[in-house]
Amino acid sequence: MSLTPKGKGSAIARRGKASSKSEAAAASDAKETGIQLYLPAALPNNRPVGQDDFTVSQIVSISGNRPIGTSTLHISETYGIVGNRPVESSDFEVVATMGRRPIGSSAIQISEMFSMSGARPIAMSTLHIDEVYSTMGGNRPIASNDIDDSSNLMGFLD
């Protein structure tokens, strides 16, 4: 089916062979005035890649040829589970791993561990706990409503 602007001819939808030469002529007229297909010049590997000053150091053939650009990134190792992904070197200090995930060092002080839904640390704090609300197997702390400096805080409330 060809599309033409209003008043510029009629569109002809055909199934099978044309029954006369006049229908074929009308179809060719419709092609000249209908929607035109634009085909740009050929692109490298049929991809919209323009010219650039990007310098390629090597090519990786994982799900197609992918260029690897040169950079100042310092790679310490590669993580080979999903497609040799680079691991950047950093000052991050790893003290342990949980499975394959790193656990970084921290200055947090841990008072106990909560292990209902995985090992989760509970940090030490000065929060005064009035009571503990227990439901569905978990203990949730309820903090005190006593405020040390209530007069200054009330100035912010309308």
How confident is the model over 11-32, as pLDDT tens digits? 444 444 444 555 555 555 555 6
Q: CA-to-CA distance for 17 and 24, rounded, in angstroms?
A: 10
For 142-150, what is the mean pLDDT?
72
Q: CA-to-CA distance for 99 and 112, rounded, in angstroms?
A: 21
CA 123 to each of CA 21, 118, 120: distance values in angstroms, whole numbers, following the listed order: 87, 16, 10
The tokens for 63 are: 């799900």
pLDDT digit string, tens, across residues 47-78: 666 666 667 777 766 666 666 777 777 776 66
CA 152 to each of CA 7, 120, 143, 156: distance values in angstroms, whole numbers, following the listed order: 78, 35, 20, 8
Considering the entire predicted model, what is its pTM? 0.28
Q: CA-to-CA distance for 47 and 53, rounded, in angstroms?
A: 17
pLDDT digit string, tens, across residues 40-53: 666 666 666 666 66
